[in-house]
């Protein structure tokens, strides 16, 4: 794909987002995070040239390498992957603008401790396993509100901003919608929450319909050919 063809491709995605957003509510703003986990620095630079500023990685090591390599560009980095406790120090070193995948109280307590040691704060989202799938991380929907409150009260160096969820892995669109609506209903109950991160390449328009205000798009933004 030439850069011109690529721009046309990306513009189509922007138009899809815009259409879904306006269908919901003209005042509903949707932020796009480009998931660059399978993409190299060259591909990120091509998307940056079209105007994309926020990127997400799911491995702490890749986040560190890419933030350092692209240090000159005014980018915003999100961490969206499963974080093992032994990688907390590297996450702190990478210092993402948003840690989207905080998935337990235990992890929050440990992260908060290390943040305090480093005299740092971090913005984060609580990940919810909204479709209750064994393969996915995240707190269960019934526990989400309680755990969110506990983290808010006990972890003063973590600023919880809302929730993140991956839609149900299913061919049944009703099931996907159900998982988004469940996440949205939890989000609506959280005091002070402003980010509801849901929607990936295959389901982002549906996610917006269900109230998502942050998309995480990987494969569609970084086509392989
Ligand atoms: C990979 C990934 C995405 C992007 O997935 P695509 O289907 O490629 O858009 C979004 N969110 C998370 C948590 C991911 O791991």
Task: At 9, list the tokens.
Answer: 């491709």
The DSSP letter of residue 131 is T
Cα-to-centroid distance, 217 and ligand 1 (Å): 6
pTM over 0.85: yes
CA-nearest residue, atom 11 of ligand 1: 216
Residue 8, SS3 per DSSP: helix
Per residue in 29-57, pLDDT (tens digit) is 999 999 999 999 999 999 999 999 999 99
Per residue in 90-119, pLDDT (tens digit) is 999 999 999 999 999 999 999 999 999 999
Ligand 1 pocket: which of 179, 216, 217, 223 to mutate (most atoms within 8 A of CB): 216
Euclidean distance between CA atoms 58 and 81, whole angstroms: 4
Ligand 1 environment, Cβ below 6 A: 35, 37, 58, 80, 166, 200-202, 216-220
- Strand ranges (E), the chain: 31-35, 54-57, 76-79, 98-102, 122-129, 139-140, 158-165, 195-197, 214-217
CA-nearest residue, atom 4 of ligand 1: 218
Ligand 1 atom index nearest CA of 80? 13
CATH architecture of 3-201: Alpha-Beta Barrel (3.20)
Residue 225 has pLDDT above 80, yes or no: no
Q: What is the mean pLDDT of the chain?
A: 97
Residue 11 has pLDDT above 90, yes or no: yes
Per residue in 149-168, pLDDT (tens digit) is 999 999 999 999 999 999 99
Domain segments of the chain: what residues?
3-201
Cα-to-centroid distance, 1 and ligand 1 (Å): 22
Euclidean distance between CA atoms 48 and 3, whole angstroms: 12
Share of the chain above pLDDT 70, in %: 100
Q: Which of 55, 27, 28, 31 is nearest to 41 (CA)?
A: 55
Euclidean distance between CA atoms 71 and 74, whole angstroms: 8
Share of the chain above pLDDT 90, in %: 99
Ligand 1 pocket: which of 54, 55, 56 to mutate (most atoms within 8 A of CB): 56
Per-residue model confidence (pLDDT) at position 224: 85
CA-nearest residue, atom 12 of ligand 1: 80
């Amino acid at each position: 794909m030439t850069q011109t063809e690529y721009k046309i491709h990306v513009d189509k995605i922007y138009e899809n987002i815009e259409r879904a957003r306006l269908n919901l509510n003209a005042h509903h703003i949707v932020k796009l995070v480009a998931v660059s986990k399978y993409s190299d620095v060259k591909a990120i630079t091509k998307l940056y040239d079209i105007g994309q500023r926020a990127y997400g990685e799911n491995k702490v090591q890749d986040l560190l390498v890419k933030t350092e390599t692209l240090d000159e560009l005014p980018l915003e980095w999100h961490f969206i992957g499963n974080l093992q406790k032994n990688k907390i120090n590297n996450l702190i070193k990478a210092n993402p603008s948003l840690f989207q995948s905080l998935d337990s109280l235990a992890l929050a307590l440990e992260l908060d401790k290390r943040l305090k040691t480093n005299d740092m704060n971090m913005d984060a989202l609580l990940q919810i396993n909204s479709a209750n799938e064994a393969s996915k991380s995240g707190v269960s929907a019934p526990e989400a509100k309680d755990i969110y409150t506990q983290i808010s009260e006990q972890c003063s160096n973590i600023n919880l901003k809302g929730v993140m969820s991956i839609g149900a892995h299913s061919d049944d669109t009703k099931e996907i919608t159900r998982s988004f609506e469940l996440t949205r209903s939890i989000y609506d109950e959280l005091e002070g929450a402003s980010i509801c991160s849901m929607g990936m390449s295959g389901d982002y328009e549906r996610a917006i319909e269900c109230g998502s205000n942050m998309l995480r798009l990987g494969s569609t933004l970084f086509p392989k050919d």
